Amino acid sequence: MPTKDNPPSIVSRIGIIGAGVSGLAVAKQLSHYNPIVFEATDSIGGVWRHCSYRCTKLQSQTWNYEFSDFPWPERESKDYPSHAEILEYLHLYAVYFDLFKYVKFNTKVVEIKFVRDKEGFDFGRLPGDHGNPLPERPVWELSVQTNESDAIQKYCFEFVVVCTGKYGDIPLMPTFPCNKGPEVFKGKVLHTIDYCKLDKEATSDLVKGKKVVVVGYKKSAIDLTMECVQANQGPEGQPCTMIIRSLHWTLPHYRMWGIPFFMFYATRSAQFLHHTPNQGLLKSLLCLLLSPLRLVISKFIESYLLWKLPLEKYGLKPEHPFEEDFASCQIAITPESFFNEADKGKIIFKRASKWCFWNGGIEFDDNTKIDADVVLLATGYDGKKKLKTILPEPFSSLLEYPTGIMPLYRGTVHPLIPNMAFVGYVESVSNLYTSEIRSMWLAGLIDKKFNLPSAEKMLSQTMKDMEAMKKSTRFYTRNCITTFGINHNDEICEDLGWHTWRKKNFIKEAFTPYTASDYKKKD
């Protein structure tokens, strides 16, 4: 029986929390260590399984959302893959690389304890270095609950990788004045996390023939609105109202005036338009000289969007440049029929910075009201709170810096948290291969192909990265690397001892997009 003086023995050197996209990528890269993957649900897939709607589709083409060593199978449709197709792709990946044998389903990590010799770790100071990633002694103890039973199982690991992601589990809820919240509303209020748990029949019954209000204007809100519209076709169908606090640019597809979108941001030549951390004097001068071109590109894209989409007609034209939305990962793809439904009167847009409930619906700060039967909150998730519920102090307090972003060196390790990595907390146009290349970097670290710098140097570098992101957009609220992702990947390649230029010739290197296949391991 494990006790404080006799902790549970190590059954695997590495523990992984979460079997979503990032968890699968890490499990594959670290498979030679026979890791244990704890998945709280009964299936792999993460948000694609538990936070998707029937109409949810991928936001990018398949070539930009695939593992480096596992291309998508042939598809008949040229449309963006549905969430069901993505789940099938992830299943095939897990089967092909025999990853299911590492996964313990219905096992929820409820607590993490630091069990390394505390006399050798000063919580009040920066550690001199992170030492050996696998020190051959327990560092973390995970308390795991299986199938919601009262029994707690404990596992010890030398290294833990957190892949729980920022979405799902804990909703980010708006706050209201006293007697102005959902408690006074006679209809139904659901956050997207609860809506996703309903089956097709239940969701249809919830919104069909009802006056539905969707709060939000990002990807999940747009998808949710389309589901409501599809359920309310016909003369008896009610329109769906979207309450929009902040406007952001949306895309109908990835070609602007006939030019592929990747030419503007996803090539090595495009990287010279944007400031990057640690850039030299020459790169700084180039960025300065080319800054007018960056503005021209943003205006060029905006001109197409204003021509293609009725943004001005519905008062949905943002006042800020397109490039700021792209730099902050705020871009969403609008379904082809989205504005067609608005033209039919099936979607109504309402701009409002403040709103609250009354017993019959929603009330705005100008004292106007709208009737509602159902209010759906597409207001996001509290990823930091999700992490803080399992990480112990003082480590949980380190997750949020004054900037609001978790500081991660190479987007993977926290300079002040030993023997732990976080994969899936960096965003880009393709979060799948963004996570995969960090999994490769993590495998290189654990395999001792390189050593980490001191905690001071890692923290300094991470602050520079965050400052570069902050300068690129006023919407700096997430770890988004869309405008300098190639630069980040170059740093990872350098750590791993790889060539940073991955293309076959100069023309392709300069003007074709970087994808996961460019970072396929050669060994």
Q: What pLDDT does 402 receive?
A: 59
CATH superfamily of 182-252+309-377: FAD/NAD(P)-binding domain (3.50.50.60)
Whether the predicted pLDDT of 153 surpasses 80: yes
Determine phi and psi for 172, rounding to 5 degrees.
-95, 110
pLDDT at 432 over 80: yes
pLDDT in tens, 241-290: 999 999 999 999 999 999 999 899 889 988 888 877 777 788 788 888 88
Q: Please give the C-alpha separations between residue 182 and each of 170, 194, 363, 402, in angstroms, as whole numbers.
A: 18, 15, 12, 31
Average pLDDT over residues 443-460: 93
Looking at the chain, the whole-number percentage of residues with pLDDT higher than 70 is: 94
Buried b (16+ CB within 10 A) or exposed e, 440-460: bbbbbbbeeeeebeebeebbe
Residue 440's pLDDT band (boundaries 50, 70, 90)?
Answer: very high
What is the per-residue pLDDT across 357-404, written as a single tens digit (0 to 9) for each?
999 999 998 889 999 999 999 998 887 788 888 888 888 888 766 566
**CA distance linking residue 367 with residue 370, whole number of Å:** 10
**Has residue 73 got a pLDDT over 60?**
yes
Average pLDDT taken over every residue of the chain: 89
Highest averaged pLDDT of the listed ranges 43-52, 192-201, 352-361, 513-522: 352-361
The reply to whether domains 10-168+382-519 and 182-252+309-377 share a CATH topology is yes
* pLDDT of res. 430: 85
Average pLDDT, integer, range 31-41: 96
The tens digit of pLDDT for each residue in 159-172 reads 999 999 888 778 88
In this predicted structure, the answer to whether residue 8 has a pLDDT above a threshold of 70 is no
| Res. 224 pLDDT band, cuts 50 70 90 | very high
Is it the case that residue 322 has pLDDT exceeding 80? Answer: yes
Per residue, the 3-state secondary structure of 255-321, as one string, reads: EECCEECHHHHCCHHHHCCCCCCCCCHHHHHHHHHHHHHHHHHHHHHHHHHHHHCCCCCCCCCCCCC
- Domain limits, the chain: 10-168+382-519, 182-252+309-377
Is 0.85 topped by the overall pTM?
A: yes
- Order of strands, edge to edge, in the sheet holding 420-422? 103-104, 36-38, 14-17, 159-162, 420-422
Tokens at residue 146, please? 């299986």
CB atoms within 10 A of CB 127: 17
pLDDT score, position 396: 86
Helices then strands, counting H and E runs in the chain, come out as 16, 20
Residues 399-427: tens digit of each pLDDT = 766 566 888 999 999 999 999 999 999 98
Q: How many CA atoms lie within 13 A of 18 on its CB side?
A: 30
Long-range contacts of 234-238 (CB under 8 A, 24+ apart): 236/209, 237/208, 237/209, 237/346, 238/209, 238/210, 238/211, 238/212
* Confidence bin at 1 (pLDDT 50/70/90): very low
Q: With 80 as the cut, is the pLDDT of residue 333 above it?
A: yes
* 308, pLDDT greater than 70: yes
- 10-168+382-519 maps to CATH 3.50.50.60: yes
pLDDT at 147: 84
Is the model's pLDDT at 119 over the cut of 60?
no
Mean per-residue pLDDT, 119-141: 71
What pLDDT is recorded for position 30?
Answer: 98
Residue 125 pLDDT exceeds 80: no
Q: What is the distance between the alpha carbons of residues 492 and 195, in angstroms, rounded to a whole number?
A: 39
State the amino acid at position 491 in one-letter form.
E
Burial class (CB in 10 A: 0-12, 13-18, 19+), 16: buried
